Chains A and B, each alone.
Chain A
């Protein structure tokens, strides 16, 4: 039932070569197409609105795929997903959206996720966005992810958008309770005339709550990027934001930090840097035989690779 285009999109966004072995719900062109629950992982349709409810029972380990693909021009798809990871569970959740827009009309997906990571649970959340298609119609993706990370829980967010999305407004919110930890790793590449805005707000509510956010972006051609990071500590929390952008050509990048402490024992750090590729980096790689273009691609590829700032909870 999946054609070659569907399979290509699913491979791009969720690294799926076949149907996943774990629980999954695959949505195509505004409708849920195929779904499977697993013992301890139940996926049901949302009530009164498009989307799914995913409930993982306490202590369960497994993977959940909930990718969305759009293959039509002129489609606006809004989906609300509610996800609950039970206490002590350990789940890899692969979301993401791929748009193939063959025509001249705008295609759009707004994925709204509410995620609760219960006490002591571990969530590895991966979200990859991808666009393609020869039509002139825009490909727009507006994800919003709101998370509650309960006591001693861990959430790792890997957010990636590297190709073909004309416009995106990405909103990521997390509240972290006592002893909880959120690690977020965002990677973004824009080119042409693409626009991307990423707004992140992390609230460290409990004592010993922690957040680490690493954002790496490359803005090429005439593309524009805006980053807004707000890190708020109500308790004795520790938070670190590292926002690094490589700017090229005629691109524009804005980075707007806010660190806000409501507790004298909170430690919040924000580092932001925007700059072109360092000349010494290019020269080093060229002196090893790479052309300037190859050297630039190598530097950008490394900069946006997952190895950057890898850490565990």
Chain B
């Protein structure tokens, strides 16, 4: 189990006087389950993912992996424990090639990178030697990012809006790939707004305004979210009360 206990995050590291992007997050994620993390833009989804990955250190609270406190571990140390994070907007690298990233991810075994590239619909012969610079399209870069995580094969996997920038045909393939590669010994968390993704997971976590508003079994939570989320969003919306904000429900 991966547990977050009273985790807060404020950029700069001080709770007092700073804006908290995450507020008192308590979360238990079980191996074998797939989770969707959803909620309005700016609600704290990616920040939570980055806190779990060790990219952002929590301002307070603890993160426990199978009972062991890993709060102080950096991203590379968590990667070695089996954490992996597919970025929402993968960075570009001048001079580094797709094969270089796949080698790093798969711990220097490039063969393990070919299969994920194929699975995500990219021909290895065409893409392995491509540079990870601005010449890759957004969708290509995103698919390489997913393939990198598949090559890394972590046991705690977080996909940050994997569908962003990906065409409809690739999206179906992507959904299938994530589902098929899930295992009983893995935790899979997908940040998404897509109903197709919601149908894939065991549980849904709704985060808004830096707080977990709702968490539970998909079939119970998803109808609730569809009914109430927009209203909840407006509750937390800084524009609330202004005349041009109307309830879309």
- Chain A residues engaging chain B, CB cutoff 8 angstroms: 216, 244, 278, 280-281, 283-292, 295, 298-299, 301-305, 307-308
Q: How far is the CA of A281 from the CA of B100 in the complex (A)?
A: 14
Q: A304 and B95 in contact (CB under 8 A), knowing A288-B148, A298-B104?
A: yes
Q: How far is the CA of A302 from the CA of B101 in the complex (A)?
A: 11
Q: Judge whether B95 and A302 touch: CB under 8 Å.
A: yes
Q: What chain A residues lie within 8 Å of B129 (beta carbons)? A: 307
Q: Judge whether A280 and B91 touch: CB under 8 Å.
A: yes
Q: How far is the CA of A64 from the CA of B105 in the complex (A)?
A: 41
Q: How far is the CA of A295 from the CA of B105 in the complex (A)?
A: 12
Chain A min CB distance to B202 (Å): 25
Q: Which of A287, A298, A303, A304 contacts B76 (CB 8 A)?
A: A287
Q: A289 and B79 in contact (CB under 8 A), knowing A283-B55, A307-B131?
A: yes
Chain A min CB distance to B191 (Å): 15
Q: How far is the CA of A258 from the CA of B101 in the complex (A)?
A: 36
Chain A min CB distance to B151 (Å): 9
Closest to B106 in A: A288
Q: How far is the CA of A308 from the CA of B19 in the complex (A)?
A: 41
Q: Which of B84, B96, B100, B131 contacts A287 (CB 8 A)?
A: B84
- Chain B residues engaging chain A, CB cutoff 8 angstroms: 53-55, 74-76, 78-80, 83-85, 87, 90-91, 93-97, 100-101, 104-105, 107, 129, 131, 148, 152
Chain A min CB distance to B112 (Å): 13
Q: What chain A residues lie within 8 Å of B80 (beta carbons)? A: 289
Chain A min CB distance to B227 (Å): 36
Q: What chain B residues lie within 8 Å of A281 (beta carbons)? A: 91, 93
Q: What chain A residues lie within 8 Å of B105 (beta carbons)? A: 288
Q: How far is the CA of A288 from the CA of B96 in the complex (A)?
A: 15
Chain A min CB distance to B143 (Å): 15
Q: Judge whether A302 and B94 touch: CB under 8 Å.
A: yes
Q: How far is the CA of A109 from the CA of B85 in the complex (A)?
A: 50
Select the residue from B96, B101, B148 with max chain A CB neighbours within 10 A: B96
Q: What chain B residues lie within 8 Å of A216 (beta carbons)? A: 94-95
Q: Judge whether A289 and B76 touch: CB under 8 Å.
A: yes
Q: What chain B residues lie within 8 Å of A280 (beta carbons)? A: 87, 91
Q: Judge whether A287 and B104 touch: CB under 8 Å.
A: no
Q: Judge whether A289 and B104 touch: CB under 8 Å.
A: yes
Q: Judge whether A287 and B53 touch: CB under 8 Å.
A: yes
Q: Judge whether A291 and B76 touch: CB under 8 Å.
A: yes
Chain A min CB distance to B49 (Å): 10
Q: How far is the CA of A286 from the CA of B97 in the complex (A)?
A: 17
Q: Which of B55, B79, B95, B131 contacts A288 (CB 8 A)?
A: B79
Chain B min CB distance to A297 (Å): 12
Q: How far is the CA of A2 from the CA of B79 in the complex (A)?
A: 48
Q: How far is the CA of A299 from the CA of B227 in the complex (A)?
A: 47
Q: What chain B residues lie within 8 Å of A292 (beta carbons)? A: 76
Q: Judge whether A307 and B95 touch: CB under 8 Å.
A: yes
Q: Judge whether B75 and A308 touch: CB under 8 Å.
A: no
Q: Judge whether A286 and B152 touch: CB under 8 Å.
A: no
Q: What chain B residues lie within 8 Å of A298 (beta carbons)? A: 96, 100, 104
Closest to B131 in A: A307
Q: Judge whether B91 and A289 touch: CB under 8 Å.
A: no
Q: Judge whether B87 and A308 touch: CB under 8 Å.
A: no
